[in-house]
């Protein structure tokens, strides 16, 4: 800052967080803008856990600050240091509506696509969920592993809205892709609730020898101006959680939450502390076990 006539003048119009790195990566649908937030604490012997966040442009700053602040006091916050990898798109807009619709959604089957509109614009074409998942679990994961000391057995995924749909679609179709899944305000109504219609078969087909942790959270007022849509989103999220609890292998842990008073845009912000604690849960157990062993209390 410089001071002129008693008024503080900014020396730069931009402010950056020095612990967030950026790089570009190429995928099937185009280039991605990848943000990586690194923790302050040194890595564990097997490397940091990694939380992949979709819609990276929108959520990296808030998620990185929430994680960094709380992980400094992990015994109180129950949030452990981890690497955040936020996958976004070129440019400074928080969302790329066309790219995210293609990347997060499988091919459409209900023939209702042309009748739908999103934020005043016709729906963009879906269909790239498979290639996008291949990008996340292949080239991007390999690149992150080369750049940073990470634990490839502790890879977690978090998505919101279409991204929340993608997280559950991945869980049900390729459960081995990630160890933990967080689905916020999932758009389970999409494609005439196609994923819900397939859910029973997919859930019953989950591998019995696999352990997975799933968190689903939805705002109680997802669309305050459209009460019927709010009710539908809560109902579908509740239904999906119930099906997972009833029919998934006993080694699957399901955490379902309705966020009181939150809407579609506020839900991911309100859920941040809970989801960071959720993905930290096993790390907390490991930390406390090591601490007890070191102190002779085991």
Average pLDDT for residues 277-287, to the nearest whole number?
69
Q: How far apart are CA 167 and CA 191, in angstroms?
A: 16
Average pLDDT for residues 105-127, to the nearest whole number?
67
Given this model, what pLDDT does residue 4 score? 55
- Give the residue carrying structure tokens 């002129």: 4
Average pLDDT for residues 275-289, to the nearest whole number?
69
pLDDT at 121 over 60: no
Q: Give me the sign of the Cα torsion angle 109, 111, 113, 116.
A: negative
Residue in 185, 127, 183 with CA at minimum distance from that of residue 159: 183
Residue in 281, 263, 59 with CA at minimum distance from that of residue 159: 59
Over the stretch 183-198, which tens digit does the pLDDT of each residue have?
Answer: 999 999 998 899 999 9
Return the minimum-mean-pLDDT range out of 49-58, 207-216, 289-298: 289-298
Interacting residues of 5 by C-beta distance below 8 A, sequence separation 6+: none
Q: How far apart are CA 270 and CA 267, in angstroms?
A: 5
pTM of the model: 0.88
Count other C-beta atoms under 10 Å from residue 48's C-beta.
23
Domains of the chain as residue ranges with CATH = 26-281 (3.40.50.1820)
| Sequence-ordered strand ranges (E) for the chain | 2-4, 7-9, 20-27, 30-37, 48-54, 83-88, 117-118, 121-122, 150-160, 180-184, 212-219, 252-259
According to DSSP H, which parts of 81-149 are helical? 97-104, 129-135, 141-147
Average pLDDT for residues 156-173, to the nearest whole number?
98
Interacting residues of 178 by C-beta distance below 8 A, sequence separation 6+: 52, 137, 155, 156, 157, 170, 171
Given this model, what pLDDT does residue 187 score? 95
**Largest interatomic CA distance in the chain:** 71
Given this model, what pLDDT does residue 96 score? 87
Q: How far apart are CA 13 and CA 241, in angstroms?
A: 45
Return the minimum-mean-pLDDT range out of 119-123, 211-215, 223-227: 119-123
pLDDT at 84 over 50: yes
- Specify whether the CB–CB gap between 235 and 243 falls below 8 A: no
């Amino acid at each position: 800052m410089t001071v002129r006539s008693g008024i503080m003048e900014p020396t730069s119009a931009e402010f950056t967080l020095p612990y967030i790195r950026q790089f570009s990566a190429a995928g099937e649908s185009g280039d991605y803008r990848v943000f990586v937030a690194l923790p302050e604490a040194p890595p564990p012997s097997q490397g940091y856990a990694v939380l992949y966040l979709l819609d990276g442009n929108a959520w990296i700053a808030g998620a990185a600050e929430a994680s960094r602040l709380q992980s400094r006091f992990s015994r109180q916050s129950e949030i452990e240091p981890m690497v955040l990898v936020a996958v976004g798109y070129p440019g400074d807009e928080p969302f790329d509506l066309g790219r995210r619709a293609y990347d997060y959604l499988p091919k459409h089957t209900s023939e209702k696509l042309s009748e739908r509109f999103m934020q005043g614009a016709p729906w963009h074409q879906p269909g790239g969920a498979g290639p996008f998942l291949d990008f996340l679990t292949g080239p991007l994961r390999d690149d992150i592993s080369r750049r940073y000391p990470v634990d490839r057995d502790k890879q977690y995924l978090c998505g919101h809205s279409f991204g929340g749909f993608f997280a559950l679609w991945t869980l049900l179709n390729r459960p081995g892709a990630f160890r933990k899944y967080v689905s916020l305000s999932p758009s389970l109504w999409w494609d005439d609730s196609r994923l819900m219609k397939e859910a029973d078969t997919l859930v019953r087909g989950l591998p019995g020898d696999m352990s997975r942790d799933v968190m689903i959270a939805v705002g109680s007022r997802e669309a305050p101006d459209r009460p019927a849509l709010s009710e539908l989103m809560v109902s579908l999220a509740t239904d999906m959680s119930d099906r997972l609890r009833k029919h998934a292998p006993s080694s699957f842990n399901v955490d379902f939450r309705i966020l009181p008073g939150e809407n579609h845009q506020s839900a991911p912000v309100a859920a941040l502390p809970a989801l960071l604690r959720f993905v930290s849960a096993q790390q907390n157990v490991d930390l406390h076990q090591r601490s007890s062993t070191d102190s002779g209390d085991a």
